Amino acid sequence: MATPQKQLIITAQQHILQQQELHPEARGNFSWLLSGITLATKMIEAKIRQAGLLDVLGSAGHMNVQGEAQQKLDVFANQALLHCLGLRDSVAILVSEENEEPVTFDRDRKTGRYVVFFDPLDGSSNIDVNVSVGTIFSIFRRPAGCEADIDGAVLQPGSEQVAAGYVVYGSSTIMVYTTGNGVFGFTLDPQIGAYVLSHDSLKMPEQGNVYSVNEARTEQFPRAYREYLRRLRTGQLGREYGLRYVGSLVADFHRTMLRGGVFLYPPTKGYECGKLRLMYEANPLAFIAEQAGGLATNGDQRILEIQPLDIHQRTPLVIGSRVEVEEFLRLRRDPAVLDCVPD
């Protein structure tokens, strides 16, 4: 009787090195950069696991640049990423949702080749009630000739991303990332302290049966969004849909990645340009969604084609399976349908 072969364990670091072989010009700087992200997220995960035991819950007592109350874990997560990535010679600029201005390093173009955006702790207001939160990151190359032009280096459309990913701190800690050659998921194994490949070549289902939106704001949504939600609720896409809304973008998007469906954050009266941040949230998730077979739009334009004007720019977001997003875009562009929807 043949002895069954043991399944090989592939860690995130091993996988990153394997992906690097697809780029003969690579010198190892990029994999070293990504190791800084994995290290920082392990530090964040460890602090979250102790949240009820240490004095890390609650407000830090001041506001961030977004006008939102900073949580103590927001501050810790931001400092962890700034520290771990700042030590990487390949990083030229760090741009955090929590900081008003980019953090720059006086590094030669030959070594400081990358610009990194991150939302240190997405959904942090949910920490006190033990709901999943996450970290989102996005990596760009530093354009040639932008050594002294910070705006030129950081204000790049999402189509220029070389990598993007997120980490969900939930019942397990999962990192999902892409470098433009598919999407891969890794689960943190606490026994060995490493992210282990658990989701190989992730594909978003072409159609799901769940929509995710803060439906309490429906009356403030533009007509196309209201009509779209009505059609989802009444089964006009050929199946019944259920509502699932966590309130942590990373958690809602991760469910959409695995099960399909659609996540929406429409413009409202309070946020006429949308609330989510283009550079820290919409761009990286849109890159991942498209690599997995999904779509992402602001309602009028593909997210990855938007030319940013500010590092803290906000945007509406509709992201998810191809069938659901294409139906939304069809409604959005059909004036005959919209004329029938009351204001």
The string of pLDDT tens digits covering residues 116-157 is: 999 999 988 787 778 899 999 999 998 876 666 788 899 999
**Cα separation, 284 vs 318, whole angstroms:** 14
| pTM exceeds cut of 0.95 | no
pLDDT band at 159 (very low <50, low <70, confident <90, very high): very high
Q: Residue 218 is encoded by which pair of tokens?
A: 């429906």
Per CATH, is 210-338 categorized as 3.40.50.970?
no
pLDDT digits (tens, 9 = 90+) for 308-322: 999 999 999 999 999
Q: Where are the domains of the chain?
A: 12-199, 210-338
> For the chain, what percent of residues have pLDDT higher than 70?
86
> For the chain, what percent of residues have pLDDT higher than 90?
68
What's the order of all strands across the beta sheet hosting 295-297? 242-243, 210-212, 262-265, 317-320, 295-297
Instruction: Report the pLDDT value the prediction gives residue 335, as an integer from 0 to 100.
Output: 77
CATH of 12-199, picked from 2.130.10.10, 3.30.540.10, 3.40.630.30, 3.90.340.10, is 3.30.540.10
Phi/psi for 240 (5° steps) reads -80, 140
pLDDT digits (tens, 9 = 90+) for 60-111: 455 555 656 567 888 999 999 999 999 999 999 999 999 999 999 877 767 7
Question: What's the alpha-carbon Rg for the chain, to the nearest Å?
Answer: 20
**Cα separation, 273 vs 6, whole angstroms:** 52
State in Å, rounded, how far the first CA of the chain is from the last one.
Answer: 72
Mean pLDDT across the chain: 88
Instruction: Report the pLDDT value the prediction gives residue 169, as an integer from 0 to 100.
Output: 94
Q: Residue 110 contacts by C-beta under 8 Å, 6 or more apart in sequence?
A: none
> Does residue 261 contact residue 208 with C-beta atoms inside 8 Å?
yes
Alpha-carbon 53 to chain mean position: 28
Write the CA distances from 12 to 31, 67, 284, integer angstroms: 10, 35, 19
**Cα separation, 282 vs 267, whole angstroms:** 14
Q: For Cα atoms 60, 65, 70, give the angle at the middle one, nearest 5 degrees.
A: 20
pLDDT at 259 exceeding the cut of 90: yes
Instruction: Report the pLDDT value the prediction gives residue 160, as an integer from 0 to 100.
Output: 96
**Cα separation, 278 vs 314, whole angstroms:** 5
Instruction: Report the pLDDT value the prediction gives residue 60, as an integer from 0 to 100.
Output: 46
Instruction: Report the pLDDT value the prediction gives residue 7, as an integer from 0 to 100.
Output: 57
pLDDT at 228 exceeding the cut of 70: yes
Q: Residue 262 contacts by C-beta under 8 Å, 6 or more apart in sequence?
A: 208, 210, 211, 212, 232, 256, 318, 319, 320, 321, 324, 325, 328
